[in-house]
Structure 1
Amino acid sequence: MPQPELTSLPAVPTLLRELELARGSRALVLAASHLDLELLPAIYEQCRQIGQVARLDVVLHGRGGVVNAARRIALLLRQHARHLTFIVPFHCQSAATLLCLGADEVIAGDLALFSPIDPQLNGADGGAFSSLDIKVFGDMAERWFGVDAGEARQQSLSLLCGSVFAPSLTAFYRTTLELAQIGEELLAWQLPDHLPEARRAIVEQLMAGYHSHNYALTREELAALGLRMARDEDAERLGWAISTQLQASIGGALRSAPEQAWNDALLATRDGVLLRRQQPGGFAPQWSTVAPA
């Protein structure tokens, strides 16, 4: 018996065919709880089946992931399309927002959720903190506790090195530099006519211009930054229809118990759906196909 949350997925290829007819493009769904490098072979196979195309529309659903995975996915998609569009109906946070920088344009629906791209470091207690949590430590000491600015910087470095292993702090700094470099590299695809300084300013704003990694950026805010945000009634309507099915199918939060397996990634074209299922206990995930309706 098919799982209840998967019963509507066979309709996704039909929606993609309708999207292709409306926009004169080829279309792909890329949905993942966590963008990772292990997605690349499956995405590569989907791109090979589609072939080289003039226009590729990617319906994107993602809540974050690995920075270098976002970069490699963007470069892979660019190799197969002269014009790349991301269609974002809903979730597109963190590394998924970074991925969007590599598109020629982004079509975002009314509920599209983007986020800052500041890097995160996992703590010993299982939580995570942002590079900004470290960067503004001295400002906090000065403004909240009246410590002299110079003294605050000295104290903050001493306290941070006492609580964060020094090489880990250095590695975190290097990760921040790497993220800025990748952001500017991808943005050069979208804004090739802009000066490097202008692209750098956009990336810097996305990395350090907000007070929370979870700040929900809107399409209007990204457009105000200078990103190429577009509107398309057909793409938004069909993208949302696909998104509702993804929301009911992808993500560990859909489990009723932690020991259950869950669907963490989905790729789809007009020819079918490819689903990745994560196994608890560290076992390798398994890909399976869902026949089109």
Structure 2
Amino acid sequence: MTVQANTAPLQSQIAHWEAHHNRRLLIYLAGEGGTSAKGIDERDVLPLYTALRAIGNQERLDILLFSGGGRVNSSRRICLLFREYTSFLRIFVPYKARSAGTLLCLGSDEIVLGPLGELGPIDPQIMAQGDPAGGPQALSPEDLRALFRLSEDWLDLHTSEQRLDVLRMISNRIFPLTLGTLYRADRQIRQIGQELLRYQLPDLEDSIRSAIVDRLVAGFGAHDYSITADEARDLGLNARRTKPIEHDLLWEVWQTASAYLQSSSPNTVNPAETSRTDAFIACADCAFRHITRSFSYLPNAASTQAGRVIQLPIEAEWQPFDPLRDPSKV
């Protein structure tokens, strides 16, 4: 289905926002994230930089953020880029800013979540290598810690030799260098989390910031746990719910901007090929859309995917467009 998105109202909504809040607004819809979907990544840096240059240095800056996750280092880079252009960064989350999106939020001065707004745990997810039994596509260091806790709590395995047997079992299923990658990723996420949190909570002791990051990494039962505004505040983050007047305007802008993420168009020459907008950046001065072109095919009967239409991405790029001259087409 093709959804027509009209950006003319979005421009007026951005103007209304900026007049009401007396600060500039940047919309960053980074995508759903995950193992195959567009999320926060290094390709986002250039269009965000272009938008920030158009906005200019601001004493206070608002970001409307949507993200299901993405790359940790890209999230850090983007957050540091935002901080180059403002001394007070406020991030609004109308729907979700999970995983790498939550990490980005740690570098703001204030996180404002709508009624549906949610953050998520930041334990890193690494693509698994070498499990012939068809285990999960992505692993977290917390998955390994949970396995060792399971061996102690459920199986009563406590000796060094028994723990070594568990490690041997893991190494037979997961490529050993992947285990090293998990260890490095765990150390990195904690380091970056504490680095960014210094912007939000500069007066706290390092040990307290470290405890907050540890809760975000290891304090929840699953990576897809939804952290509400109240829970984020209880963790020690500078987070709050939207005020009623804020929410109405936030939701209005979100609904208009997010319509782009639903837009797709077929290739008239090759019907098996489609183009889809899966990320979106906009401010009052410019706008960008991330286009992913995919090829659809139906696996043969012998395939384990038989009967399912597979979407294979073949090309992806950010494209600038003029919302005033092209108000009704994606």
Q: TM-score, normalised by structure 1?
A: 0.92
Q: Is residue 290 of structure 2 the alignment partner of residue 285 of structure 1?
A: no
SS of residue in 1 equivalent to 2:45: helix
**Mapping of 1:100-115 within 5 angstroms?**
100-115=105-120
SS of residue in 2 equivalent to 1:72: helix
How far 1:249 moved relative to its partner? 2.5
Tell me which amino acid in the other structure corresponds to 2:100: A
Tell me which amino acid in the other structure corresponds to 2:278: D
How far 1:12 moved relative to its partner? 1.7
How far 1:153 moved relative to its partner? 2.2
Correspondent of 2:194 among 180, 184, 197: 184
**What's 1:24 paired with?**
22
How far 1:130 moved relative to its partner? 1.8
**What's 1:237 paired with?**
248
**What's 1:72 paired with?**
77
SS of residue in 2 equivalent to 1:194: coil
Q: Deviations over 1:115-144 (max 9, x none)?
A: 100011113557212221111211111222
Tell me which amino acid in the other structure corresponds to 2:170: L
Structure 1, 280-289 or 12-21: larger mean CA deviation: 280-289
Larger Rg: 2
Q: Deviations over 1:37-65 (max 9, x none)?
A: 11101100110011111110000011100
Correspondent of 2:102 among 97, 102, 112: 97
2:59–2:86 CA contact under 8 A, matched in 1: yes
Structure 1, 260-269 or 5-14: larger mean CA deviation: 5-14
Tell me which amino acid in the other structure corresponds to 1:248: A
Note closer, same or farther for the CA distance 1:155–1:228 as it changes in structure 2 (3 Å cut): same
1-side partners of 2:245 and 2:272: how far apart? 38
**What's 2:261 paired with?**
250
Q: TM-score, normalised by structure 2?
A: 0.82
Note closer, same or farther for the CA distance 1:289–1:171 as it changes in structure 2 (3 Å cut): same
**What's 1:260 paired with?**
274
**What's 1:212 paired with?**
222
2-side partners of 1:235 and 1:134: how far apart? 42
How far 1:167 moved relative to its partner? 1.6
How far 1:290 moved relative to its partner? 4.3
Moved over 4 A (4+): 254-259
Give structure 2 stretches of 5+ with no counterpart.
Answer: 32-38, 295-312
2:69–2:97 CA contact under 8 A, matched in 1: yes
Give structure 1 stretches of 5+ with no counterpart.
Answer: none
1:139–1:149 CA contact under 8 A, matched in 2: no
Q: Is residue 153 of structure 2 the alignment partner of residue 139 of structure 1?
A: no
Higher relative contact order (CA 8 A, sep 6+): 1
Note closer, same or farther for the CA distance 1:76–1:258 as it changes in structure 2 (3 Å cut): farther
**What's 1:274 paired with?**
288
Tell me which amino acid in the other structure corresponds to 2:321: T
Note closer, same or farther for the CA distance 1:212–1:251 as it changes in structure 2 (3 Å cut): farther
How far 1:234 moved relative to its partner? 3.4
Note closer, same or farther for the CA distance 1:175–1:66 as it changes in structure 2 (3 Å cut): same
Q: How many residues of Structure 1 are paired with residues of Structure 2 in the alignment?
A: 290
How far 1:79 moved relative to its partner? 0.3
Tell me which amino acid in the other structure corresponds to 2:98: Q
Question: Which protein is richer in helix relative to its size?
Answer: 1
1-side partners of 2:54 and 2:182: how far apart? 39
Q: Is residue 55 of structure 2 the alignment partner of residue 57 of structure 1?
A: no
How far 1:108 moved relative to its partner? 0.7
RMSD, matched Cα: 2.2
Q: Is residue 32 of structure 2 the alignment partner of residue 39 of structure 1?
A: no
1-side partners of 2:117 and 2:162: how far apart? 39
